[in-house]
Amino acid sequence: MSDAVAATAGQRIFLDRQTPDAYKAYVRAARTVRAAADDAGLDRTLVELVNLRVSQLNGCASCLDVHTRAALAAGDTPRRLGVLAAWRDTELFTPRERAALALAEATTHPADADAQERAYAAAREVLDDAALSAVIWVAITINAFNRVSILSKHPVRQD
Protein backbone atom coordinates (compact mmCIF):
# COMPACT_ATOMS: atom_id res chain seq x y z
CA MET A 1 0.00 0.00 0.00
CA SER A 2 1.40 3.40 -0.91
CA ASP A 3 1.97 6.01 1.77
CA ALA A 4 -0.80 8.18 0.29
CA VAL A 5 -3.32 5.33 0.36
CA ALA A 6 -2.29 4.34 3.90
CA ALA A 7 -2.64 7.94 5.10
CA THR A 8 -6.16 8.35 3.72
CA ALA A 9 -7.41 4.87 4.68
CA GLY A 10 -7.69 5.87 8.35
CA GLN A 11 -9.08 9.33 7.71
CA ARG A 12 -12.76 8.63 7.21
CA ILE A 13 -15.28 11.41 7.39
CA PHE A 14 -18.42 10.91 9.40
CA LEU A 15 -21.04 11.13 6.67
CA ASP A 16 -23.68 12.26 9.16
CA ARG A 17 -21.53 15.26 10.13
CA GLN A 18 -20.26 16.04 6.64
CA THR A 19 -23.75 16.16 5.13
CA PRO A 20 -26.03 16.78 8.12
CA ASP A 21 -29.14 17.66 6.11
CA ALA A 22 -29.08 14.27 4.36
CA TYR A 23 -28.59 12.51 7.70
CA LYS A 24 -31.40 14.51 9.31
CA ALA A 25 -33.67 13.43 6.46
CA TYR A 26 -32.78 9.79 7.26
CA VAL A 27 -33.56 10.41 10.93
CA ARG A 28 -36.95 11.90 10.00
CA ALA A 29 -37.62 8.88 7.79
CA ALA A 30 -36.66 6.56 10.66
CA ARG A 31 -39.14 8.33 12.94
CA THR A 32 -41.85 7.88 10.33
CA VAL A 33 -40.99 4.19 10.03
CA ARG A 34 -41.03 3.80 13.83
CA ALA A 35 -44.50 5.38 13.94
CA ALA A 36 -45.68 3.05 11.16
CA ALA A 37 -44.34 0.07 13.12
CA ASP A 38 -46.18 1.26 16.23
CA ASP A 39 -49.38 1.80 14.23
CA ALA A 40 -49.03 -1.71 12.77
CA GLY A 41 -48.82 -3.19 16.25
CA LEU A 42 -45.17 -4.20 16.10
CA ASP A 43 -43.78 -4.16 19.61
CA ARG A 44 -40.43 -2.55 20.30
CA THR A 45 -38.67 -5.87 20.90
CA LEU A 46 -39.62 -7.14 17.45
CA VAL A 47 -38.43 -3.91 15.82
CA GLU A 48 -35.13 -4.13 17.68
CA LEU A 49 -34.71 -7.79 16.69
CA VAL A 50 -35.01 -6.71 13.05
CA ASN A 51 -32.54 -3.86 13.61
CA LEU A 52 -30.09 -6.23 15.28
CA ARG A 53 -30.37 -9.03 12.74
CA VAL A 54 -29.84 -6.70 9.80
CA SER A 55 -26.91 -5.08 11.60
CA GLN A 56 -25.42 -8.53 12.22
CA LEU A 57 -25.71 -9.39 8.53
CA ASN A 58 -24.07 -6.10 7.57
CA GLY A 59 -21.39 -6.27 10.26
CA CYS A 60 -22.16 -2.83 11.70
CA ALA A 61 -20.60 -2.70 15.18
CA SER A 62 -21.94 0.76 15.99
CA CYS A 63 -25.55 -0.16 15.15
CA LEU A 64 -25.21 -3.51 16.95
CA ASP A 65 -24.19 -1.65 20.09
CA VAL A 66 -27.01 0.90 19.84
CA HIS A 67 -29.73 -1.64 19.09
CA THR A 68 -28.55 -4.22 21.64
CA ARG A 69 -28.99 -1.54 24.28
CA ALA A 70 -32.37 -0.59 22.84
CA ALA A 71 -33.55 -4.22 22.76
CA LEU A 72 -32.55 -4.74 26.38
CA ALA A 73 -34.27 -1.49 27.37
CA ALA A 74 -37.40 -2.69 25.54
CA GLY A 75 -37.40 -5.83 27.68
CA ASP A 76 -35.69 -8.42 25.51
CA THR A 77 -33.36 -10.88 27.20
CA PRO A 78 -29.60 -11.40 26.88
CA ARG A 79 -30.32 -15.06 26.11
CA ARG A 80 -32.46 -14.27 23.05
CA LEU A 81 -30.07 -11.61 21.83
CA GLY A 82 -27.16 -14.00 22.27
CA VAL A 83 -28.70 -16.57 19.93
CA LEU A 84 -30.20 -14.14 17.44
CA ALA A 85 -27.67 -15.00 14.72
CA ALA A 86 -28.96 -18.59 14.89
CA TRP A 87 -32.64 -17.77 15.39
CA ARG A 88 -33.78 -20.53 13.05
CA ASP A 89 -32.19 -23.13 15.33
CA THR A 90 -34.05 -22.16 18.52
CA GLU A 91 -37.60 -22.05 19.76
CA LEU A 92 -37.00 -18.75 21.57
CA PHE A 93 -38.70 -16.64 18.91
CA THR A 94 -42.42 -16.43 18.17
CA PRO A 95 -43.84 -17.22 14.72
CA ARG A 96 -44.37 -13.48 14.20
CA GLU A 97 -40.75 -12.70 15.13
CA ARG A 98 -39.48 -15.53 12.94
CA ALA A 99 -41.45 -14.21 9.98
CA ALA A 100 -40.12 -10.68 10.59
CA LEU A 101 -36.53 -11.91 10.87
CA ALA A 102 -36.76 -13.92 7.64
CA LEU A 103 -38.30 -10.94 5.87
CA ALA A 104 -35.57 -8.64 7.22
CA GLU A 105 -32.90 -11.02 5.94
CA ALA A 106 -34.57 -11.17 2.52
CA THR A 107 -34.74 -7.37 2.45
CA THR A 108 -31.05 -7.15 3.31
CA HIS A 109 -30.07 -9.69 0.62
CA PRO A 110 -32.62 -9.03 -2.15
CA ALA A 111 -30.57 -10.82 -4.81
CA ASP A 112 -31.71 -14.19 -3.43
CA ALA A 113 -35.13 -14.12 -5.10
CA ASP A 114 -36.14 -17.61 -3.92
CA ALA A 115 -35.41 -16.79 -0.26
CA GLN A 116 -37.24 -13.50 -0.69
CA GLU A 117 -40.35 -15.23 -2.05
CA ARG A 118 -40.31 -17.83 0.75
CA ALA A 119 -39.87 -15.15 3.42
CA TYR A 120 -42.62 -12.99 1.97
CA ALA A 121 -45.04 -15.93 1.76
CA ALA A 122 -44.28 -16.99 5.34
CA ALA A 123 -44.70 -13.42 6.57
CA ARG A 124 -48.10 -13.16 4.85
CA GLU A 125 -49.29 -16.04 7.05
CA VAL A 126 -48.66 -14.16 10.33
CA LEU A 127 -48.40 -10.46 9.49
CA ASP A 128 -51.14 -8.23 8.13
CA ASP A 129 -50.38 -5.74 5.36
CA ALA A 130 -49.45 -2.92 7.75
CA ALA A 131 -47.12 -5.10 9.82
CA LEU A 132 -45.50 -6.64 6.73
CA SER A 133 -44.89 -3.21 5.25
CA ALA A 134 -43.53 -1.89 8.56
CA VAL A 135 -41.06 -4.79 8.93
CA ILE A 136 -39.73 -4.19 5.42
CA TRP A 137 -39.40 -0.45 6.09
CA VAL A 138 -37.59 -1.10 9.39
CA ALA A 139 -35.15 -3.38 7.54
CA ILE A 140 -34.63 -0.85 4.74
CA THR A 141 -34.05 1.93 7.26
CA ILE A 142 -31.49 0.07 9.38
CA ASN A 143 -29.71 -1.07 6.21
CA ALA A 144 -29.26 2.61 5.29
CA PHE A 145 -28.00 3.53 8.77
CA ASN A 146 -25.64 0.54 8.70
CA ARG A 147 -24.07 1.83 5.50
CA VAL A 148 -23.61 5.32 6.96
CA SER A 149 -21.97 3.92 10.10
CA ILE A 150 -19.83 1.34 8.31
CA LEU A 151 -18.52 3.77 5.71
CA SER A 152 -17.94 6.43 8.37
CA LYS A 153 -16.30 3.87 10.67
CA HIS A 154 -18.40 5.11 13.58
CA PRO A 155 -16.82 3.81 16.77
CA VAL A 156 -18.56 1.81 19.47
CA ARG A 157 -18.76 4.04 22.53
CA GLN A 158 -16.73 3.09 25.60
CA ASP A 159 -19.30 3.81 28.31
- Phi, psi (degrees; rounded to nearest 5) at 44: -60, -35
pLDDT value, residue 10: 65
Per-residue pLDDT of the chain (159 residues; tens, 9 = 90+): 334 333 344 688 999 999 999 999 999 999 999 999 999 999 999 999 999 999 999 999 999 999 999 999 999 999 999 999 999 999 999 999 999 999 999 999 998 899 999 999 999 999 999 999 999 999 999 999 999 999 999 999 887
Reduce the DSSP state of residue 141 to 3 states and report it. Answer: helix
pLDDT value, residue 1: 35
Q: What is the CA radius of gyration of the chain?
A: 17
pTM for this one? 0.91
Q: Do residues 92 and 79 lie in contact, with contact meaning Cβ atoms separated by under 8 Å?
A: yes
pLDDT value, residue 157: 84
Q: Do residues 27 and 145 lie in contact, with contact meaning Cβ atoms separated by under 8 Å?
A: no
Close Cβ partners of 84 (under 8 Å, ≥ 6 residues apart): 49, 52, 53, 56
Close Cβ partners of 100 (under 8 Å, ≥ 6 residues apart): 42, 46, 49, 50, 123, 127, 135
Domains of the chain in sequence order: 19-152 (1.20.1290.10)
pLDDT value, residue 2: 38
pLDDT value, residue 6: 35
Please tell me the distance from the alpha carbon of residue 37 to that of residue 134, in angstroms, as a whole number. Answer: 5
